[in-house]
Structure 1
Amino acid sequence: MKSPAGLLFSGIELDRDSTTPLYRQLYLQIRKQILTGRLKGGIRLPSTRTLSQELSLSRITLLNAFDQLIAEGFLVSRTGAGTFVGDEWERSASVEPQPAVPPTLSDLSQTMLSLRSDHFRGVSYAHCGADTPTSFLPSHGAFEAFPQVVWRRLLNRHAQKPSKALLGYGELQGLIELRQAIAEYVFDARGIDCSAQQVVIVSGAQQAFNLLAMLLLNPDDPVWMEDPGHIAARIAFQAHGCQVIPVRIDDQGINVQQGIADCPDARLVFTTPSRQHPLGVTLSHGRRLELIDWAAANQRWIIEDDCDSELRYNGRQLPALYAMDQHDRVIYVGTFSKVLFPSLRLGYVILPNALVEPFCTMRAVMDRSPPTLLQAVTAEFMSEGHFIGHIRRMRALYQARQQCLVDVLQRRLGDFLRITPVDAGMHLIAWLPPQLDDQEVARQLAVHGVHTYALSDYCLQRYLSPALLIGFAGTAQEQAEQKVDALVQALRAMGLLSK
């Protein structure tokens, strides 16, 4: 049988080069041996003199460790008898472990967990970064082309001499300078005539969708949702208990008459009119008027997500839906995630005047505005003209990247995929042979290291031919051949292409 000293010393290893003090190391290791049952209750420990010699430690170090263990009840000191392991830890360790009980969550939490499980049940790209060699994910842009020198200079300017306002909680609506810069930008670029008072800064479009759902909708309220449509917005509405009504997309955009026929009492419609997400259709002028007239006549709301509106490569686009609305029924959501970079976590909502105060009240319950420092840098980036210059460079770069990738895809896979260039955005649609399941194709491609999205992931009703979303913004022209070759090899390995 091992002596108490042998039992104790067998598992103790002290690192004398560690920044953790030796007494703390000794305390933690003895505590662990007691909790795991290796040191049994009632065992008498060697004297501090013996331990000092065995472990080559000073008695002060040992006493500091023992005092802490005694204070916490792991050891018991008996005058004239020595130091013993406490009995209560042995009793607690001997109790049969009970199976873990799942935490009790709210109905909202359960709904959100279920929706997340449903969405990621098919293909998950949680571990696929922007630098993945064969990523065709639509959200990956040319991050390497971001003007980091300019951004760093502006960041340093504010960080070196931060004001009290910059270090404080910030304005609930967001930094006034950024709101003014946004109001000026959307007037020039999208025809939106609004004041800075109508602009609220949020931490991305997803937060905007959730706050607007909380502000405008009750559980069971019906919402028109483009089908296929924006996954993140759809999940936000579903998580709040709304009935999501699928409204199909044709060559003019969302089919307003179908929405009226299927659900005339919808409380809200979510639309991406500038570039329908994910199909890329532009909502026609006639459909825009239909939608606005319906909302005005029935006192309904329209959320306009101006998805990828900055990235247009050919022709002039129609004004924003918000700019055409004379009845204050449209709410405009914009974000800097695509045109700058996602981790900036800055977006904005432009609200009718009547909704500004209620929205900010709701927002105050949830959180404050995003970091003021990043808002200040972004405001200056815009006011000094860097934002517009960056957009113009990205348009030229992405257009060239798209054309190069389309050329390679058509040359290598023209008999398998049906592809046409797009006028805006960061991805195109690659239509598959009709007998295939696009979700299964995307899943198998991911197994072979080629990452993209299935069009069916965006659908509430599967009425369209199978297709993949192919992002081109993150594929440099010199990488196009290599990436497409990886796609070809994966499709061959899956048995979808002849050798």
Structure 2
Amino acid sequence: MKAPGGMLLASVELNRTGSVPLYRQLYLQIRQQILAGHLHGGMRLPSTRTLCSELGLSRITILNAFDQLTAEGFLESRTGAGTYVCAEWEGRAAAADEPRKAPRLSSLSQSLLSMRSDHFSGINYTAWNPDCPTSFLPSHAAYDAFPLALWKRLLSRHLRQPTKAMLSYGELMGQQALREAIAGYVYDARGIDCSAQQVVIVSGAQQAFNLLSMLLLDPQDSVWMEDPGHIAARITFQAQGCRVVPLRIDEEGMDVQQGLRECPKARLAFTTPARQHPLGTTMSYARRLELIEWAGRESGWIIEDDCDSEYRYQGRAQPALYAMDQRARVLHVGTFSKVLFPSLRLGYVILPEALVEPFCAMRAVMDRSPATLLQAVTADFMREGYFLGHIRRMRTLYQARQDCLLEKLQQRLGGFIEVKPVAAGMHVIGWLAPELDDAAVASGLSSQQIYTYALSDYCIQRYLPPGLLIGFAGTPEDQAEAKVAALAQALRAMGHRV
């Protein structure tokens, strides 16, 4: 049997100034080589004298490492013959070289992976760095304008004298103070008259969609879905085994009459009435009544995603669907991801009273409420008046950023992209020529670190012209010209005439 002395000596690297003892480093590296199959069962290790000379270690250091490996079954000492890798590791190299089999996944997991890759196969955002490339992603807010000093002060207030309740698991529905603050806010801002006992805190809107779909839907149930519409919500319903019924968007919002013609017995409708995502249309009052009437008549449910409702720049906001519903068929979902910051991971669901207990039962099985400390800070931020002040400042800021970015886009790319101002939200649609593939354009831009989304990603049926979602909230006015110039340069590099 050939001795592995050269292989072992060449691979050992010791850090003589680190905190890990040398014998421990040697032990770990020999152990790893055996597990990886580089040192086979039955192979003889160099003598302790050779290792002392070549590695510059004392004999006691090497013996300590060998003793530990022997005790764990990696090495064995043969009297008068030296130290060997235990025979049970024979064939380890062959096993290590075998191709790894794909893990066996559940049918649900496989379908989720498939649906996710279908929607985002052309774009990879793993290398995205917020400080480096040009981002027009619509989900990116003005993080530079968030009142961090104020937030830090509120956070420190709770950290200085944390209560037992603050350090415990927290209430299943979420902290009472935050639920009360949310109930007060939606009453004033959205016309929703609810109690804190109807508000449940969740880790963002996506968790709300998942829990609600598990609560209300069975496989094969039909769901009305805006087309184009919320990608992650659609995947949630498809993963639940539901049939998604795409309903087109016109100037009044979701086409309810199309739903009545094609699938009147749908179990649920998902809608973003305050600001349709991604087109930006506001659902008309008449459509809202039609949708609520359908739900009451057919015992259907409506999930109202109050997407970007805080950021309205023109006109008066329509009342929330929940506020108009007299039959308790609407479930209202809100989030703090856009109005505060996404990593806060806080959202809320406002439920009809009859659904509170079953929703909480489902919630108890899935997880607990989000971090109690962050809930407490958010409650203070709302109760002490900072929340509404922050929203007012951000509206003014975003309106100015939208105006500036649209001006620069028109100047540089007016012949390539058609853009119009929006009355609400954080992005505009950049319409492209009909012959272009918006997914290919978005993918090509991302390869040059210019990030945006293709409108076709949001579509189930292709009936709209190609377009790009261009976020303006994260682009300060003094950076707009440079970012648009980078976009124009990237398009020219892709062969487009701009």
Using the size of structure 2 for normalisation, the TM-score is: 0.95
Give, in whole Å, the separation in 1 of the partners of 2:330 and 2:69: 65
Give, in whole Å, the separation in 1 of the partners of 2:73 and 2:289: 75
Q: Specify whether residues 62 and 289 from structure 1 end up closer, same or farther in structure 2 by C-alpha distance, changes over 3 A only.
A: same
Amino acid paired to 1:326: Q
Q: Which residue of 2 aligns with 1:360?
A: 360
**Contact 2:40–2:91 (8 Å) recurs in 1:** no
The structural deviation recorded for 1:40 is 5.3
The structural deviation recorded for 1:217 is 0.2
The answer on 1:200 being equivalent to 2:200 is: yes
Amino acid paired to 2:292: I
> 1:406-434 CA distances to partner (integer Å, 9 max, x unpaired)?
11112222233222111110001111122
Q: Residue 474 of structure 2 aligns to a residue in which SS?
A: coil
Q: Which residue of 1 aligns with 2:83?
A: 83
The answer on 1:265 being equivalent to 2:271 is: no
The answer on 1:296 being equivalent to 2:296 is: yes
Amino acid paired to 1:230: H
Give, in whole Å, the separation in 2 of the partners of 1:255 and 1:214: 26
Q: Which residue of 2 aligns with 1:105?
A: 105
Q: Which residue of 2 aligns with 1:391?
A: 391
The structural deviation recorded for 1:476 is 0.6
Q: Which residue of 2 aligns with 1:496?
A: 496
The structural deviation recorded for 1:99 is 3.1
Q: Which residue of 2 aligns with 1:23?
A: 23
Give, in whole Å, the separation in 2 of the partners of 1:492 and 1:455: 21
Amino acid paired to 2:452: T
Q: Which residue of 1 aligns with 2:336?
A: 336
Structure 1 range deviating more: 309-318 or 340-349:
309-318
Give, in whole Å, the separation in 2 of the partners of 1:330 and 1:360: 17
Give, in whole Å, the separation in 1 of the partners of 2:46 and 2:114: 56
Q: Which residue of 1 aligns with 2:182?
A: 182
**Contact 1:306–1:334 (8 Å) recurs in 2:** yes
> 1:75-100 CA distances to partner (integer Å, 9 max, x unpaired)?
11245654333222234335584432
**Contact 2:227–2:246 (8 Å) recurs in 1:** yes
Amino acid paired to 2:358: P
Structure 1 range deviating more: 28-37 or 140-149:
28-37
Q: Which residue of 2 aligns with 1:145?
A: 145
Q: Residue 130 of structure 1 aligns to a residue in which SS?
A: coil
Give, in whole Å, the separation in 2 of the partners of 1:37 and 1:492: 51
Q: Which residue of 1 aligns with 2:227?
A: 227
Give, in whole Å, the separation in 2 of the partners of 1:414 and 1:6: 67
Amino acid paired to 2:460: L
Amino acid paired to 2:177: E
Q: Specify whether residues 115 and 58 from structure 1 end up closer, same or farther in structure 2 by C-alpha distance, changes over 3 A only.
A: same
**Contact 2:313–2:395 (8 Å) recurs in 1:** yes
Q: Specify whether residues 177 and 433 from structure 1 end up closer, same or farther in structure 2 by C-alpha distance, changes over 3 A only.
A: same
Structure 1 range deviating more: 411-420 or 364-373:
411-420
> 1:204-251 CA distances to partner (integer Å, 9 max, x unpaired)?
000000100000000110000001111111111111111000001110
Q: Which residue of 2 aligns with 1:457?
A: 457
The answer on 1:439 being equivalent to 2:446 is: no
Structure 1 range deviating more: 421-430 or 448-457:
448-457
Q: Which residue of 2 aligns with 1:172?
A: 172
Give, in whole Å, the separation in 1 of the partners of 2:481 and 2:460: 34
Amino acid paired to 1:222: S
Amino acid paired to 2:437: D
The structural deviation recorded for 1:315 is 2.2
Q: Which residue of 1 aligns with 2:241?
A: 241
Q: Which residue of 1 aligns with 2:481?
A: 481
**Contact 2:204–2:346 (8 Å) recurs in 1:** yes
Q: Specify whether residues 336 and 72 from structure 1 end up closer, same or farther in structure 2 by C-alpha distance, changes over 3 A only.
A: same
RMSD over aligned Cα atoms: 2.0
Q: Which residue of 1 aligns with 2:305?
A: 305
The structural deviation recorded for 1:303 is 0.3
> 1:386-423 CA distances to partner (integer Å, 9 max, x unpaired)?
11111011000000000111111122222332221111
> Aligned runs of 1:27-46 on 2, under 5 Å?
27-35=27-35, 39=39, 41-45=41-45
Q: Specify whether residues 274 and 34 from structure 1 end up closer, same or farther in structure 2 by C-alpha distance, changes over 3 A only.
A: closer
Using the size of structure 1 for normalisation, the TM-score is: 0.95
Amino acid paired to 2:323: A
Structure 1 range deviating more: 386-395 or 117-126:
117-126
Amino acid paired to 1:325: D
Q: Residue 293 of structure 1 aligns to a residue in which SS?
A: helix
The structural deviation recorded for 1:56 is 4.0
Q: Which residue of 1 aligns with 2:419?
A: 419
The structural deviation recorded for 1:46 is 5.6
**Contact 2:40–2:92 (8 Å) recurs in 1:** no
Q: Residue 396 of structure 2 aligns to a residue in which SS?
A: helix
Give, in whole Å, the separation in 1 of the partners of 2:216 and 2:36: 54
Give, in whole Å, the separation in 1 of the partners of 2:162 and 2:464: 53
Give, in whole Å, the separation in 1 of the partners of 2:208 and 2:377: 21
Give, in whole Å, the separation in 2 of the partners of 1:8 and 1:124: 40
Q: Specify whether residues 194 and 227 from structure 1 end up closer, same or farther in structure 2 by C-alpha distance, changes over 3 A only.
A: same
Q: Which runs of no fewer than 5 residues in structure 2 stay unpaired? A: none
Q: Which residue of 2 aligns with 1:250?
A: 250
Structure 1 range deviating more: 289-298 or 45-54:
45-54
Amino acid paired to 1:324: M
**Contact 1:130–1:140 (8 Å) recurs in 2:** no
Amino acid paired to 2:428: L
**Contact 1:133–1:483 (8 Å) recurs in 2:** no
**Contact 1:4–1:43 (8 Å) recurs in 2:** yes
Q: How many residues align?
A: 498
> 1:355-414 CA distances to partner (integer Å, 9 max, x unpaired)?
001011111111100111110111111111111111011000000000111111122222
Give, in whole Å, the separation in 1 of the partners of 2:317 and 2:456: 27
> Aligned runs of 1:318-333 on 2, under 5 Å?
318-333=318-333
Q: Specify whether residues 494 and 51 from structure 1 end up closer, same or farther in structure 2 by C-alpha distance, changes over 3 A only.
A: closer
Give, in whole Å, the separation in 2 of the partners of 1:168 and 1:261: 51
Amino acid paired to 1:235: I
Amino acid paired to 1:286: A
**Contact 1:274–1:318 (8 Å) recurs in 2:** yes
